[in-house]
Amino acid sequence: MSVKFNNKNRVKPIGLLLSFLLMLAVAGLASYYLWFNHLNKTIEASLWMYFVFISTFFYFGGFCYVEVEISSKTFDVKYYNLFPFWRQYKRILLPLDKVKHIKVRSGLCFVGSGILISGRIKGRLATYPTVGLSACTAKQRKQLKQFALELKENRN
């Protein structure tokens, strides 16, 4: 089975929405400290809690641009996190016979879903970082789950 997809169409609106929410939190904090710092501390605490929540949700929620290309010989995943800071393009490229285990996490609704890949490299078991699939469609996650099941059945 060959799988080939990317989530380019879904990434842009999700990234814009989450970036807007993050910048809204920063603007709220900035305006509070510039003009309204004489108000009560509950507003300040709620602004900080909103900022910490939205930045944690955005960074650790698994929102990534993902390009998956799986053929009969290679397993290729290219991805980067949508968080606007510390963005780094990463790639996992393995021969399919070196892939030992693939697990597709569901997450809560769609947030936190991801794919965990482990393989044998130079005789040792290597576990790669989880690739976030929160910005992918349910159909794309289902394709990866089917591929993981097929791979598991073929290995046994």
Q: Is the pLDDT of residue 110 over 90?
A: no
pLDDT bin (cut points 50, 70, 90) of residue 153 is: confident
What is the residue-averaged pLDDT of the chain? 87
Q: Are 122 and 138 in contact (CB under 8 A)?
A: no
Predicted local distance difference test score (pLDDT) of residue 19: 92
What pLDDT, in 10s, does the model give residues 26-85? 999 999 988 877 778 888 899 999 999 999 998 888 888 999 898 888 889 899 888 878
pTM of structure = 0.78
Q: Is 59 left (phi over 0), alpha (psi -120 to 50) or beta?
A: alpha
Mean pLDDT of 85-100: 86
pLDDT (average), residues 99-105: 87
Q: How far is CA 85 from CA 55, 80, 131, 138, 147, in A?
A: 11, 11, 17, 27, 33
Between CA 40 and CA 36 the distance in angstroms is 9
